């Protein structure tokens, strides 16, 4: 029996990178999975078989969230796991950051998480159980240069996680945040707004002297989605190779 047998999961930003890694393992562990993305994730879903479905989804839109959650409920049953994985990172010096840069970070990284939690919670209450895993960052634990909007939104995710955990704990819904360090994904390695040499350098500066592969975060997300973490809520789970251990 899989560790997620009987679970119904929505994973945002699931077309590639960490989201696709989470979806692959979730399906293997017995979950019914809906991956959502503004990118095309149909090929990813087809590779994972009949227990995975792709839905086009802009996480910044309430109507998109309502459609995805209702369609998931009709297809597989009420959502019992939500992984708010979709995110954006545009790193710029503070004096080159525009209002538009700040707004897009807010809408995707922060508003998207808020909408996802608020709209899925009633379905989890109906199911009598739920686990929400919000993907923040070590930038939600400590500041960083050239990342003012990113840091702001990732700190917000950390705070919203704690507030939601308090609100929904009595309904048997757990809410936790995951704080990755530098991960080898398309967002870091194929992003024109991210310096690849700096990414590798950041890995070398950590105690483990490397950056992580997506599966190393997936294993943590799997734990939090499963009933194995049944007494964990409102907490931060850091996976950064020790990068902020000395902060």
Q: Decide: helix, strand or coil at residue 112.
A: helix
Between CA 50 and CA 27 the distance in angstroms is 9
Closest CA to 54 of 71, 67, 41: 41
For 10-67, give the DSSP string.
EEET-SSHHHHHHHHHHHHTT-EEEEEESS--HHHHHHH-TTEEEEE--TT-HHHHHH
Residue 114 annotated in active site: no
* DSSP assigned state of 111: I
**Cα torsion for 143, 23, 2, 235, to the nearest 10°?**
20
**Which candidate in 76, 106, 150, 223 is catalytic?**
150
**Cα torsion for 25, 169, 155, 157, to the nearest 10°?**
50
CA distances from 236 to 143, 166, 168 (A): 16, 14, 17
- Indicate which residues carry an active-site annotation: 150
């Amino acid at each position: 029996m899989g560790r997620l047998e009987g679970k119904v999961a929505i994973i945002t930003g699931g077309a590639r990178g960490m989201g696709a890694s989470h979806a692959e393992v979730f399906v293997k562990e017995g979950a019914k999975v809906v991956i959502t993305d503004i990118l095309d994730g149909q090929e990813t879903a087809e590779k994972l078989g009949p227990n995975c479905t792709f839905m086009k989804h802009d996480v910044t839109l309430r109507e998109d969230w309502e459609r995805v959650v209702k369609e998931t409920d009709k297809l597989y049953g009420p959502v019992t796991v939500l992984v708010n994985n979709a995110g954006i990172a545009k790193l710029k010096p503070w004096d080159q950051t525009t209002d538009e840069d700040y707004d897009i970070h807010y809408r995707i990284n922060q508003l998207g998480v808020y909408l996802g939690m608020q709209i899925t919670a009633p379905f989890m209450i109906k199911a009598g159980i739920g686990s929400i895993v919000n993907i923040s960052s070590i930038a939600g634990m400590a500041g960083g240069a050239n990342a003012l909007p990113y840091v702001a939104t990732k700190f917000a995710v950390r705070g919203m996680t704690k507030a939601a955990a308090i609100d929904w704990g009595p309904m048997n819904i757990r809410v936790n945040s995951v704080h990755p360090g530098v991960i080898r994904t398309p967002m870091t390695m194929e992003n024109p707004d991210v310096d690849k040499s700096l990414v590798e350098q950041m890995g070398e500066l950590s105690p483990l002297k490397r950056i992580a592969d997506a599966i190393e975060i997936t294993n943590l997300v799997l734990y939090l989605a499963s009933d194995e973490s049944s007494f964990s809520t409102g907490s931060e789970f850091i996976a950064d190779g020790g990068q902020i251990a000395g902060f």
